[in-house]
Amino acid sequence: MRSPVYLHGAAPVVDASAEHVLFAFSDREQALFFPEARPELAAGRAAWSRLDPESLDAEGWADALRERRPTVLVTAWSAKPVPVDWIDSDDFSLRYVCHITGSLKKIMSDRLYARGVRATNWGASINHTVAEHALLLVLALLRGAAQWPATIAQGGWTVDHVERLRSRTLRGKRVGLHGFGAIAREIAPLLASFRPERVSAYSRGVPPSFIVEHGVQSCPSLERLFAESDVVIGCESLTPENRGSVDARVLGLLADDAVFVNVGRGQIVDETALLAEAASGRLRLGLDVFHREPLPADSPLLAAPGILLSPHIAGPTWDTYRVCGDHALDNLRDYLDGKPLDGEVAADFFARMT
């Protein structure tokens, strides 16, 4: 269900006939997000055109924007940055970036916000898939999934292989959520079905009352969260204040054999400290996000023992790509109808994106 969020007061009156929608995504993205749809139909009375950004270099992209003068851009992963010289020019026309996918950092800029350009992305449409993936990593680590192939190859299964895997259950564990945004609020009810001892959360700037309202205990500090949890799930947004905050000291507060999973932002965690913990074998570690993405072939994380890595796939699953496409087209229609947008990305939230 769509949950309208509008950040700038009453929705403005939009003359759709004066709008020009430029659908700027690749043929592959068209097939992923709109397998059975014609996205241009969402333009309604607005003029529209289509181009593939992958077919253009930076100069060609800039020329296309100046020539077509779109008021709306519908973009995806293949998007190119909106050129600064066009933003600062007298013929700048853009009013809305309707981004089908996640981070807007590649295309948006502070200059666009200063010019009053609005933006949306896939918003909350895939929060449930991230929550599912976080739970997958937690359960896999508790059950020693990374060692299953070697255990099977050894044969002669006895009670010894359970001991070697140190297989554990989630029931009765103390689970901590670092972050309490929309994803954490999806994770919490999933955890409840496993009957943990408790679920607690810490997120800088989030009122404790808000956390408690959602049936989760509020933790007063990051340090307390790590010290008093058997399982910690990182799902926090990146800010200047929390960059690198999960460091060796904080990780050291986790008890031996505790689980730490990060599906939030890679740069919140000190990767050098993670590597040291992996080498010691003291913790069960799972990561879906990293400082550099895609993870370079020479990254020491790839060779680290005891870290379960997934290739930043907590986001949309294969069967939810079309959900992201539908969400974008719903927002496009709402914009052209002068209605509130779902999950509009404000400038302060954009600043925290990676």
b/e string for 293-307 if b means 16 or more Cβ within 10 A?
eebeeebebeebebb
**Mean pLDDT value across residues 143-161:** 82
C-alpha–C-alpha distance, residues 91 and 322, integer Å: 34
Residues 142 and 219 in one domain: yes
Query: Does residue 3 lie in a domain region?
Result: no
239 and 179 Cβ atoms separated by less than 8 Å: no
Q: Where are the beta strands (DSSP E) in 78-216?
A: 96-99, 118-120, 174-178, 198-202
Q: What rounded mean pLDDT belongs to the chain? A: 93
Q: What is the structure's pLDDT at 16?
A: 79
Q: What is the pLDDT of residues 99-116, one digit of tens each?
A: 999 989 899 999 999 999
Reference 338, options 124, 112, 118; nearest CA is 118
Name the helix (H) or strand (E) containing 176.
strand 174-178
Query: Does residue 2 lie in a domain region?
Result: no
Has residue 85 got a pLDDT over 70? Answer: yes
Residues 345 and 249 in one domain: no
Q: What is the structure's pLDDT at 8?
A: 37
Query: Does residue 27 lie in a domain region?
Result: yes
C-alpha–C-alpha distance, residues 352 and 354, integer Å: 7
Residues 147 and 249 in one domain: yes
Longest Cα–Cα distance in the chain: 76
Q: What is the structure's pLDDT at 348?
A: 86
Query: Does residue 10 lie in a domain region?
Result: no
Q: What is the structure's pLDDT at 13?
A: 58
pLDDT level of residue 2 (50, 70, 90 thresholds): very low
C-alpha–C-alpha distance, residues 218 and 178, integer Å: 11
**Mean pLDDT value across residues 228-255:** 96
Specify the 3-state DSSP secondary structure of 32.
helix
Q: What is the structure's pLDDT at 1?
A: 35
Q: What is the structure's pLDDT at 89?
A: 96
Q: What is the structure's pLDDT at 166?
A: 87
Q: What is the structure's pLDDT at 351?
A: 79
C-alpha–C-alpha distance, residues 20 and 73, integer Å: 9
pLDDT level of residue 12 (50, 70, 90 thresholds): low
Query: Does residue 6 lie in a domain region?
Result: no
Q: How many domains is the chain partitioned into structurally? A: 2
Residues 159 and 141 in one domain: yes
Give the domain range for residue 162. 127-309
Residues 240 and 254 in one domain: yes
Query: Does residue 340 lie in a domain region?
Result: yes
Query: Does residue 105 lie in a domain region?
Result: yes
Radius of gyration of the chain (CA): 23
Cis-peptide, bond into residue 12, ω within 30° of zero: no
pLDDT level of residue 164 (50, 70, 90 thresholds): confident
Has residue 224 got a pLDDT over 90? Answer: yes
Has residue 11 got a pLDDT over 80? Answer: no
Residues 55 and 71 in one domain: yes
Residues 112 and 257 in one domain: no
Q: What is the pLDDT of residues 313-351, one digit of tens each?
A: 999 999 999 999 999 999 999 999 999 999 899 998 887
Residues 154 and 183 in one domain: yes
Q: What is the pLDDT of residues 41-67, one digit of tens each?
A: 999 999 999 999 999 999 999 999 999
C-alpha–C-alpha distance, residues 29 and 77, integer Å: 8
Q: What is the structure's pLDDT at 6?
A: 32
pTM equals 0.86
Reference 290, options 279, 301, 298, 282; nearest CA is 301
The CATH number of the domain holding residue 161 is 3.40.50.720
Residues 134 and 188 in one domain: yes
Residues 51 and 151 in one domain: no
Q: What is the structure's pLDDT at 350?
A: 85
Helix-strand-coil split of the chain, %, nearest 5: 40, 15, 45
Residues 324 and 249 in one domain: no
Has residue 80 got a pLDDT over 80? Answer: yes
Which range, of 4-13, 71-80, 331-340, averages the lowest pLDDT?
Answer: 4-13
- For residue 36, the Cα-to-chain-centroid distance in whole angstroms is 26
Spatial strand order of the sheet with 20-24 comes to 47-51, 20-24, 72-75, 96-99, 118-120
Q: What is the structure's pLDDT at 10?
A: 42
Query: Does residue 179 lie in a domain region?
Result: yes
Residues 117 and 131 in one domain: no
C-alpha–C-alpha distance, residues 219 and 225, integer Å: 6
**Mean pLDDT value across residues 261-277:** 97
